[in-house]
């Protein structure tokens, strides 16, 4: 971007209302662009008598915008999508259905996950997004998925003993109040569920830090829930026999009800791109969604060894992958060899065989 130059003037560039230190030339440029460079730029031009502000120039970081568009398209293409909250227009508008929500308490909107322009829900430790009573979100007896991007901003040294709440479906005034509540432990080591009877946990593969992560919670009808973290299956935990509680209010990042039997504070960080589905998304779908923004993550490596007249294939994280084989490449079809178990012992034969691991 540049403006016409003339003598005896000084220049100061701004992104929105933020003064850009050192950007005092007629031209503003970047060695490389990142998402936070996006914004509306103006230059205040000053001479000894007065100052004038240039017409605004909007910079979008198009590669990231394209990623965001791909992500949105992938979500919207899921046949079981019920509701999708992007928060990009600084509302809790439902982009898919009509289950629009509202801000409550001190919640606000703030910087989005990785792809401005736009914004994220910021429950701010005390507020939340109130979606209200949506029967399809009760997930009382069937399958479903809730997917979102999360950022845990708190300091693990000062958060105290409480579990910041991600997502809940409960009634403030009737006990037992909850169909379900999900939170993260204070040390950011696991995600916990609460179903009025027990707390169950699935351990995060790594400390959540203060970065954005992709989170999917899959409800299984047995009943249990499976955690996917950054596109990878992080475990399944049981739920107690559900107490059907139609009329539960769905809340994003909300504190527990005052006087309730549990005491979650609101989410202390940000939530973005929250999607509710009526079906359990497959591991492949979830991985594909996450990888649109994260790139390939945690893909396993097949280790090959020999043992007598066998080859032995092994890989990490065996619970998440199906070993498949094909005699040709590219394969016309893949044949399952082994599920949920590593290593696999394969007799050596005369021909070629190709192997892959498929996320399940």
The footprint of Ca ion (CB under 5 A) covers 86-88, 112, 118, 272
Rounded Cα–Cα distance for residues 96 and 175 (Å): 32
Give 230 or 272: the residue with its C-beta nearer to Ca ion.
272
CB of 120 to Ca ion, least distance (A): 5
Nearer to Ca ion, 13 or 109 (CB): 109
Q: Pick from 84, 86, 79, 87: which is nearest to 96 by CA?
A: 84
The CB-of-70 to Ca ion minimum distance in angstroms stands at 14
Residue of this chain nearest to Ca ion (CB atom): 112
Q: How near is the Cβ of 321 to Ca ion at its closest, in Å?
A: 31
Burial status of residue 257 (CB atoms within 10 A of its CB: 0-12, 13-18, 19 or more)? buried
- C-alpha 25/C-alpha 220 separation (Å) is 59
Nearest CB to Ca ion, comparing residues 13 and 113: 113
Q: Closest separation between CB of residue 324 and Ca ion, Å? A: 36
Cβ burial, residue 147 (10 Å; 0-12/13-18/19+) = buried
CB of 84 to Ca ion, least distance (A): 10
d(CA 136, CA 242): 15
Q: In this structure, are residues 198 and 208 in contact, taking their beta carbons and an 8 Å threshold?
A: no
Residues 72, 229, 166, 116, CA torsion sign: negative
Closest approach, Cβ 188 to Ca ion, in A, equals: 22
For residues 156-178, one letter each, b for 16 or more C-beta atoms within 10 angstroms of the residue's C-beta and e for the rest, the string is: eeebeebbbbbbbbbbeeeeebb
In the complex, the smallest distance separating the C-beta of residue 273 from Ca ion, rounded to whole angstroms, is: 5
Of 118 and 257, the one with the shorter C-beta distance to Ca ion is: 118
Task: For residue 68, give the H/E element and its range.
Answer: helix 62-76
H or E stretch covering 62: helix 62-76
Q: How far is the CB of 87 from Ca ion (least distance, A)?
A: 5
How near is the Cβ of 121 to Ca ion at its closest, in Å? 8
Nearer to Ca ion, 72 or 138 (CB): 72
- Specify the residue, 38 or 323, whose C-beta has the smaller distance to Ca ion: 38
Which is closer to Ca ion, CB of 151 or CB of 242?
151
Across the chain, how many H-helices and E-strands are there? 2, 26
Based on CB atoms, which residue is closest to Ca ion, 134 or 293?
293
Nearer to Ca ion, 87 or 137 (CB): 87
Cα–Cα dist 332/106, whole Å: 55
Q: What is the DSSP string of 170-214?
A: E-SSSSS-EEEEEEE-TTSSEEEEE-SS-EEEEE-SS--TTSEEE
Q: At what angle do helices 283-294 and 62-76 cross, to 10 degrees?
A: 170
């Amino acid at each position: 971007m540049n403006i016409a130059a003339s003598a005896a003037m000084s220049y100061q560039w701004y992104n929105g209302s933020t003064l850009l230190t050192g950007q005092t030339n007629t031209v503003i440029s970047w060695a490389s662009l990142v998402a936070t460079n996006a914004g509306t730029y103006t230059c205040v031009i000053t001479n000894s008598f007065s100052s004038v502000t240039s017409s605004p120039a909007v910079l979008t970081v198009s590669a990231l915008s394209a990623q965001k568009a791909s992500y949105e398209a992938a979500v919207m293409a899921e046949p079981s999508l019920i509701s999708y909250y992007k928060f990009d227009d600084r509302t809790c508008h439902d982009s898919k259905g009509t289950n629009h929500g509202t801000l409550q308490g001190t919640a606000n909107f703030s910087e989005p996950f990785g792809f401005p322009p736009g914004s994220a829900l910021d429950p701010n430790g005390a507020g939340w997004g109130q979606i209200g009573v949506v029967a399809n979100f009760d997930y009382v007896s069937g399958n479903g998925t809730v997917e979102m991007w999360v950022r845990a901003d708190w300091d693990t040294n000062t958060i105290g003993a409480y579990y910041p709440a991600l997502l809940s479906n409960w009634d403030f005034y009737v006990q037992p109040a909850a169909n379900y509540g999900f939170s993260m432990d204070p040390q950011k080591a696991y995600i916990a569920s609460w179903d009025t009877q027990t707390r169950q946990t699935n351990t995060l593969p790594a400390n959540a830090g203060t970065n954005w992560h992709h989170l999917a919670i899959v409800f299984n009808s047995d009943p249990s829930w499976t955690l996917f973290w950054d596109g990878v299956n992080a475990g399944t935990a049981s739920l107690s026999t559900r107490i059907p509680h139609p009329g539960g209010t769905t809340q994003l990042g909300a504190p527990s009800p005052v006087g309730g039997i549990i005491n979650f504070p609101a989410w202390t960080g940000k939530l973005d791109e929250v999607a509710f589905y009526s079906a359990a998304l497959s591991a492949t779908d979830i991985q594909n969604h996450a990888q649109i923004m994260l790139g390939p993550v945690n893909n396993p490596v097949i280790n090959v060894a020999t043992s007598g007249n066998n080859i032995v294939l092994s890989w990490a994280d065996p619970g998440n992958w199906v070993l498949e084989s094909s005699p040709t490449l590219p394969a016309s079809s893949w044949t399952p060899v082994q599920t949920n178990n590593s290593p696999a012992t394969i007799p050596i034969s005369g021909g070629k065989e190709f192997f892959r691991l498929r996320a399940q």
